[in-house]
Amino acid sequence: MSGRGMVAVVAGSGIDLTGLLDDTDDPVPFRETGDGPPGHPCVFVRGRCGLRDVIVQQGRFHAYEGFNLDRLVRPIDALYAMGVRAIVFTNAAGGLRPEMEPGQLAAATEVVAWPFRRFVLPDTIPTDFAVPGCDHAGTHAWMHGPCYETRAEIHALQCARAATVGMSAAPELARCRELGVRAAVVSCITNNCCAVAPLSHEHVLDVAAKASRRLAYVLRTWLGREE
Ligand code: HPA
């Protein structure tokens, strides 16, 4: 499914994919100083997963950090220049269906971009393939953030039949389509949006970290089938 060229995996907030790589080269930072306080490590880690050469992008730029669209997708341009022709985006996400549980994985069939005036993105961006082995599949909704959604927004997203909601993937996925890079999105559900308890960033990071091993396993299995 990845076709020819190298594969990259983008690790979302709290997601640690070091378990995906058997051995690695020195990490290459992609966030320049002057970009503001990182909050996320921003490095490309090139390594091997079985017989495959894989680049893991640890950290990413978010719209809520104030970056414009061109800046947000610059890591995708860099991966493309390194020969990457298939990318799996992972992220932390809220589950919009009542049966979704923290720690589960969801494959996006498409990403819908909630309107935000600074960004001109297609409303609906299809993914090119689904990574097998996820617990759920459906539409992923992209929100600008950084606040988690209000009850009204959650209700609107549920009425729109979105399965998951997160703050990344739409700008990057749109750039992949422009470049002809095949792309998929796997979300780690860190919380169910139907829950009434307030959500904290620490909780999101904690659940994402705990789900990382399984996510790495799912990705490793997929890469093995791709050989
Ligand atoms: N909403 C948006 N982004 C998220 C969520 C959420 O509920 N959980 C983790 N990332």
49-95 pLDDT tens trace: 988 999 999 988 889 988 888 889 999 999 999 999 999 999 999 99
Instruction: Answer whether residue 1 is part of any domain.
Output: no
- 153-208 pLDDT per residue, tens: 999 999 999 999 999 999 999 999 999 999 999 999 999 999 988 899 999 999 99
In a domain, 18, yes or no: yes
Distance CA 91, CA 8 (A): 14
Rounded Cα distance, 227 and 142, in Å: 32
Q: Domain range for residue 17?
A: 6-225
Ligand 1 contact via 204 beta carbon (within 6 Å): yes
| Both tokens assigned to 75 | 């890591």
Name the residue at shortest CA distance from atom 7 of ligand 1: 94
Whether omega before 146 lies within 30 degrees of 0, making that bond cis, reads yes
pLDDT at 35: 56
Rounded to the nearest whole angstrom, what is the distance from the C-alpha of residue 192 to the centroid of ligand 1?
A: 9
The CATH number that applies at residue 109 is 3.40.50.1580
Q: How many domains does the chain have?
A: 1
Determine if ligand 1 sits within 6 Å of the CB of residue 92.
Answer: yes
What does each C-alpha distance from 95 to 90, 137, 187, 192, 227 come to in angstroms? 14, 11, 9, 5, 32
140: CB partners within 8 A, 6+ apart? 93, 106, 108, 110, 111, 112, 162, 163, 164, 165, 166, 169, 185, 187
pLDDT at residue 226 in the model: 73
Within a domain: 204: yes
Q: For the whole model, what pTM was predicted? A: 0.93
Pocket test for ligand 1, best of 149, 150, 155, 185 (most atoms within 8 A of CB): 149
Q: How far apart are CA 215 and CA 192, in angstroms?
A: 18
pLDDT of residue 38: 52
**Domain annotation covers residue 154:** yes
User: Which atom of ligand 1 is closest in space to residue 193's alpha carbon?
Assistant: 7
Asked whether residue 13 is assigned to any structural domain, the reply reads yes
Q: CB of 93 closer than 6 A to ligand 1?
A: yes
CA of 36 to the centre of ligand 1 (A): 23
Burial class (CB in 10 A: 0-12, 13-18, 19+), 173: buried
Report the distance separating Cα 190 and Cα 118, nearest Å.
27
Residue nearest to atom 9 of ligand 1 (CA): 93
What percent of the chain has pLDDT above 70?
93
